[in-house]
Amino acid sequence: MQLWTGLGNPGRAYSGNRHNIGFMAIEAIARRHGFPPARAKFHGLVTEGMIGGERIMLLAPQTYMNESGRSVGEAARFHKIALQEVSAFHDELDLAPGKLRVKVGGGDAGHNGLRSITAHLGAGYRRVRLGIGHPGDKALVHGFVLSDFAKVETPWVEALCDAIAAHSALLAHGDDAGFQNKIHLAMQAAGFGEAAKA
């Protein structure tokens, strides 16, 4: 079994935040692949299903971002899921809006959710980095990630989440490069090739 976690903050007040794009991505995957409704477990919301013949557990930690690792670590240990079978979907300031990159291991780039997972599990998990852009000034970052996507951004956010869901079998099979490429092509086809220069 693989464990895919979306990172975000729980509660309706945060649901539209840029910081919650990880939640949005795994919700799109669950919808696309007909996963059952999520249930409360491991300090999170959990659902399981099949993608491309692989068993996938989707987890949305309900611990707040900076404690995400408590939820992810508990689920991974309970199901004896190896670190390389864990993927974290998260917002990425250093990528243009609508861009996606996949990497295994590395630093946490100041992301509190990643830092928490690394503290609980180690660094060798897969990160699915979802570009949200940067406000341009480090002092503005906190407010930027904790504010909602603007209405004009909704089309590319939905297109990105839909593309992730549509091509997630490639990720399930470990074809990270193929997955990245398909997302890039899907975003171009949807008119967001220059990923929302806005």
Q: Indicate which residues carry an active-site annotation.
A: 19
Q: From CA 94, how far away is CA 116, in angstroms rounded?
A: 19
